[in-house]
């Protein structure tokens, strides 16, 4: 626990762990932003492939960091939203006419998920553990 009474993961205890996590998330946001912008403005697909690859690679890295804490992450709202986002991204090549809408929806889910309170992000929707309502 830290001095505020919150449980701190082993990664967060080391300054390098927090730095790496923030760096990876920042790279992920930059790469996906360029990819999404390229799709939105009709940039040729070949030019976007490196950005897509780096988006996938950094996204996998972020998931790996979460899963190191335990597989319960998939059962938490944050993990569930990530799975929904991945499903939407897999639909992009299947429904190319809707790629802007699908990508916009994925970005919206990411933004909402990352900015919701911790009590919601870590809510386990299978076990119904955690709290959705504050008293």
Total structural domains within the chain: 2
Phi and psi of 129, rounded to 5°? -100, 145
Q: What is the pLDDT of residues 97-108, one digit of tens each?
A: 999 999 999 999
Q: Please provide the average confidence, as pLDDT, over all residues in the chain.
A: 86
DSSP letter at 110 equals H
Claim to verify: residue 45 and residue 84 sit in the same structural domain: no
The structure tokens 């690859």 sit at 53
In a domain, 1, yes or no: no
Same domain flag for 64 and 83: no
pTM of the model: 0.78
Residue-number span of the structural domain to which 88 is assigned? 70-135
Question: Does 88 lie in the same domain as 75?
Answer: yes
Residues 3-36 pLDDT 10s: 555 555 555 566 678 899 999 999 999 999 999 9
Average pLDDT score over residue span 115-129: 84
81 in Cβ contact with 114 (< 8 Å): no
Rounded to 10 degrees, what is the CA torsion of 82, 88, 93, 96? -140
What is the three-class DSSP state of 43? coil
């Amino acid at each position: 626990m830290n001095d505020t009474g919150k449980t701190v993961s082993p990664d967060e205890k080391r300054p390098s762990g927090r730095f790496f996590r923030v760096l990876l998330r920042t790279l992920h946001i930059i790469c996906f932003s360029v990819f999404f912008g390229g799709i939105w403005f009709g940039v040729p697909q070949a030019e976007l492939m490196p950005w897509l690859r780096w988006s996938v690679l950094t996204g996998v890295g972020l998931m790996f960091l979460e899963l190191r804490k335990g597989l319960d992450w998939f059962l938490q709202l944050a993990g569930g939203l990530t799975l929904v986002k991945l499903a939407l991204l897999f639909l992009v090549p299947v429904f190319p006419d809707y790629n802007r809408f699908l990508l916009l929806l994925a970005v919206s889910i990411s933004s909402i998920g990352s900015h919701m309170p911790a009590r919601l992000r870590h809510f386990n929707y299978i076990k119904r553990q955690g709290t959705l309502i504050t008293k």
